[in-house]
Amino acid sequence: MSHNQTTSFLWEGENVFSTPSMISEMEETCRLLLKEQFLKVDSEWDSVGTVVNINHTAATPVGAEILLKAEVVGVDGRRVQFKVSTEDNLEQIGDGNHERFIINIPKFKEKFDLKVKKLDEYQKG
**What positions carry a catalytic annotation?**
19, 27, 56
* Sheet (strand 79-87) strand order: 45-56, 92-104, 79-87, 67-76
Mode of pairing for the β-strands spanning 92-104 and 79-87 = antiparallel
Pick from 44, 35, 50: nearest CA to 106: 44
